[in-house]
Amino acid sequence: MLIALVMLGFVVLPVLRRRRGAVGLVPPGHPDAADPANYGFVREEELDIRMPGPDQDLLDVLDLVQRTQDYRAAQQLLAGTDAESELRWQRVQAFAGAASLELRQRPGGMGEAAGGQWLRVWRTEAPKDAGGAAVHAEFLVQQAWRTATPGTDEFRIIMEEAREACGEAALLAPGDPVPYIVELSVARGLGYSEKDFEQVWLKILDRAPNHMGAHLAALHYWCEKWHGSRQQAYAFAEAAAARAPRGSLLAAMPLFAVFEHLPEVNLVSGFYQSEVVSKAIHGALHAVHSARPDDPMLAHVRHLLVFFLVRSERWAEAMSQLIHIDGHVGALPWTLSADPAAEFAVYRALAVAGYEANGGSPATLPH
């Protein structure tokens, strides 16, 4: 609903144009049409919807596993990925997501092998492998959200199985926060009490106190649409930002909290120029500028910044983020759309049009 409302004024329109001081519309092919290709941006049909940013090792392994249905390359990649790193969590999500999508595309039957068979073989042949156990737990969580309706018996049965799988994965790797991060989604789906949720959260803080992916997963629980409120979600995000060490992207958490609660505040006039949004954007920009260039969560923050900067008509700043993330769109807010690439492309075109309407050009864009 949110994305539909946001895009209502854009997606049914033709090509954007540039005009000094304003963004307007012209027919396709008009000489004033703003063209993202002039900035070296990737064509919409070539945008990668699997990940928020590049991870060539993961892409190579995913391709090999899905082509050969042999899990061992995935097993080796996870074994060589630091347990406390954001990268391990992202890779567990990616492998689980690949297996889940395979199963949806090839459910099996009538002699046909079901998709994701490599994950089942992985768990059978290497039952004590911590990586395979974590992927299996996340796979069950994704299956629950993708194939069942929250609140139904089917959903609860899959989530209960996922909870057991999280426990097994945690026993196999006592210092690994990933099984508990997976359980945060289980907690949201099964409606853990705040006390039970906090117990899981404390186990994560003991292992990886500055884990951005874990904080984003926990934020969902505290949102109004799940088991908290806007005030609780804002408080959680602001506390994380306040204690964030130098160079940590946790300073961007308030922007994610604002995004999660857009439906209830989006009707306020000038919302995107309001103090709450401006302050959250400022915090996220500061986090991006301070973070390590190779931080795996950096792309996540940049993608959300593009959304807010475009809506705030801060065109040049939006373009500065786009040059870093263009090519990959597997992140919020685009993944909420049925067509993430198209969603991203509209915002990118708006940024280009607004930038040019205010005198910008490929020559003036800093790299």
User: Per-residue pLDDT for 31 more than 70?
Assistant: no
Question: How far, in Å, CA of 98 to CA of 114, rounded?
Answer: 13
Cβ count within 10 A of residue 279: 14
Tally of CA atoms within 13 A in the half-sphere of 348 that contains its CB: 29
Secondary structure (3-state) at 360: coil
Whether residue 113 is contained in a domain is answered as yes
Please give the Cα distance from 97 to 142 (Å, whole number): 7
- Residue 34 pLDDT: 63
133 token code pair: 């156990």
Residue 91 lies in a domain: yes
Tens of pLDDT along 49-105? Answer: 888 998 999 999 999 999 999 999 999 999 999 988 899 999 999 999 999 989 888
pLDDT in tens, 286-299: 999 999 999 999 99
Model pLDDT for residues 100-147, shown as the tens digit of each residue: 989 888 886 544 567 789 999 999 999 999 999 999 999 999 999 999
Find the mean pLDDT for residues 15-33: 46
Query: In 173-252, which ranges are continuous DSSP H helix?
Result: 178-190, 194-207, 212-222, 230-242
Pairing of strands 22-26, 15-19: antiparallel
> Does residue 278 form part of some domain?
no
Put residue 92 in one of left, alpha, beta given phi > 0 → left and psi -120 to 50 → alpha.
Answer: alpha
Q: What mean pLDDT do residues 345-355 have?
A: 94
The answer to the question of residue 20 being in a domain is no
Largest CA distance in the chain: 64
Give 18's strand partners: 23
The Cα–Cα gap between 119 and 126 comes to: 10
Question: For the domain that residue 97 is a member of, what is the CATH number?
Answer: 1.25.40
Tell me, what's the pLDDT at 49? 86
Domain count for the chain: 1
Nearest CA to 356 among 326, 319, 329?
319
Contact 77, 91 (CB under 8 A): yes
As a whole number of angstroms, the distance between CA 214 and CA 236 comes to: 12
> Is residue 346 in a domain?
no
Higher pLDDT, 2 or 235: 235
- Confidence check: pLDDT of 21 > 80: no
Confirm whether 190 is domain-assigned.
Answer: yes
Cis preceding-peptide flag for 54 (omega within 30 of 0): no
C-alpha of 253 from chain center: 13
Contact 281, 309 (CB under 8 A): yes
Q: Which residue range is the domain that position 205 belongs to?
A: 56-209
Q: What is the pLDDT of residue 113?
A: 67
Residue 172 lies in a domain: yes
Residue 351, in any domain of the structure: no
The dihedrals phi and psi of 152, each to the nearest 5 degrees, come to -85, 165
